Every structure is written in structure tokens, then in C-alpha cells.
Amino acid sequence: MNTQELAKEFTSMCRSGKFDEAGKKFWSDDVVSIEPMTGEMARLKGRKAVEGKGKAFLDNNEIHGVKVEGPFVNGDEFTLHFEMDLTPKGKSRTTMKEIGLYRVKNGKVAEEKFFAVH
Amino acid sequence: MNTQELAKEFTSMCRSGKFDEAGKKFWSDDVVSIEPMTGEMARLKGRKAVEGKGKAFLDNNEIHGVKVEGPFVNGDEFTLHFEMDLTPKGKSRTTMKEIGLYRVKNGKVAEEKFFAVH
């Protein structure tokens, strides 16, 4: 499976809201996940840590819908544009937009990096 | 000027269609520009080469409008989502979407990489 094919299948799963399954199928065991923040959650390494972050996000946000545009590909990297309609626990419903950059190595996502609007 | 400030000003210039001026102001002298293609245009290095590519693009496309979403920032990198309404010379009017990833070093854009939908 080349990067283009992986990107298409990964995107299709995200588009269906199956973020967990996309990760389970495509993350490498030592995947690195980089968030646009400071602190100990900014850079996580390893499948368990990254899965834990995903679970924490779903525990703390009610997801009403997600739009995914892409994949936009170049070489062994691809990017996705996310637009999430969600309600963070105890807060108002909002729209969150971000861009994810994925680096593919040996048929797996070796690194994901997220970019936020400030 | 930090990455966030640079990204905002760069984006604002792109949004006004001033791609040339944004480059002139913010590219480093040895900027690297990476396109989602193969061949000799895929990776250009140096301000003159990259300016030449920009000029060739404008010579070969009539730009009717551009929407720029962002900047989406993480550390010393930012991304932009472009949607261009254009007519390539001798072809039909079309919409081109792409994502640009910019790496900032010493207050300049040291590398730009573009991602396309296939």
C-alpha cells in the first residue's frame, strides 16, 4: 500500500468518524503525535499514549459531526483539513478547525502533527 | 517577529492575492519549495528559482479569486488551505485546492511544501 492508497483509506475512516480504528490500523507502534500546545501532552510517543489521548478527547467532547477534506498528498506525507462540530464538556457547542499532517514510513503513519487556528 | 505573527502577515498578503510580495518579504535567500510532482520543478532551491516558478504560474493561469484559510500554526511551522478559482491557459475555468506547509527559521520562510488532492 503506497502513501496515496493509505491516505485515501485513512481519510475515508476519519470521514466516517472512525478515528480510533484508523489509528489502530495505520499507526506504527512508535507513532509520534504532536499537538499545537505546550506541556506534557504536546508530544506523545507510542501507540498506547496516542490512543489514550484519543480516548481522553472523546471522553471530554461530544462530537456532533465531522467534515474531512483531503487527502492532500506530497511524497510520503499527506494532510487533512478537519472541521468538527462538537460540544466540550461543560461548554458551548462550537466548531473546531484544524489541519493534520501525516508522515508515512513503511506503510504506517510514523508521525502526525496538528495545526490550529489561534 | 515570531512564527505566529509572521504567519498572520504572510496569510494576509496571500489573501489579498499578493503572493509575490509575501514571498519577497518572507522567503529566506535559500528557501526550498517542494511541489507535489516529479521532475525538475518538484524541488527548487533559492529565491530566484522560486520567484521564477511563481512568475511561470501567473503567466500560465488567469486567477479569478483566491480563498485562504488559516494560518494553522504549530511551533515553527504553519499551514494554509488555498482554494483558487482560475483558468489555466487554453483550458476551462476550474477550482484548485491545496495545502501549503511553511517552515520558519530565523524569522523567514525556509521551506514551503504544497500538498494536492489527486
pLDDT in tens, A45-84: 999 999 999 999 999 999 999 999 999 999 999 999 999 9
**Residue with grid cell 464538556, as numbered in its chain:** A89
Name the grid cell of B91: 483550458
- Three-state SS for B10-71 is HHHHHHCCCHHHHHHHHEEEEEEEECCCCCCCCEEECHHHHHHHHHHHHHHEEEEEEEEEEE
8 Å CB contact of B79 and A101: yes
For residue A35, give the DSSP letter: -
pLDDT tens digits, residue range B61-80?
999 999 999 999 999 999 99
The confidence score (pLDDT) of residue B62 equals: 96
The confidence score (pLDDT) of residue A1 equals: 87
Across B83-102, average pLDDT: 97
8 Å CB contact of A79 and B75: no
pLDDT tens digits, residue range A76-118?
999 999 999 999 999 999 999 999 999 999 999 999 999 999 7
Cβ atoms A91, A84 nearer than 8 A: no
Q: Is the pLDDT of residue B118 over 80?
A: no
- How far is it, in rounded angstroms, from Cα B20 to Cα B24? 6
The confidence score (pLDDT) of residue A65 equals: 95
Residues in chain B closer than 8 A to A35 (CB atoms): 74
Phi, psi of B35 (to 5 degrees): -100, 155
Closest to B31 measured CA to CA, from A28, A65, B22, A40: B22
Q: Is the pLDDT of residue A11 over 90?
A: yes
- How far is it, in rounded angstroms, from Cα A90 to Cα A68? 26
* DSSP H/E element including A109: strand A108-117
Residues in chain A closer than 8 A to B77 (CB atoms): 113, 115
Residues in chain A closer than 8 A to B34 (CB atoms): 74-75
Across B104-114, average pLDDT: 97
8 Å CB contact of A79 and B79: yes
Chain B, nearest residue to A37 by Cα: B74
pLDDT tens digits, residue range B9-52?
999 999 999 998 999 999 999 999 999 999 988 999 999 999 99
The confidence score (pLDDT) of residue B1 equals: 87
8 Å CB contact of A77 and B115: yes
How many Cβ contacts (< 8 angstroms) between chains A and B? 73
The interface predicted TM-score of the complex, written ipTM, equals 0.93
Q: Is the pLDDT of residue B108 over 80?
A: yes
For residue A86, give the DSSP letter: E
- How far is it, in rounded angstroms, from Cα B44 to Cα A108? 28
Q: Quickly state the pLDDT bin for A40 (edges 50, 70, 90).
A: confident
Cβ atoms B66, B82 nearer than 8 A: yes
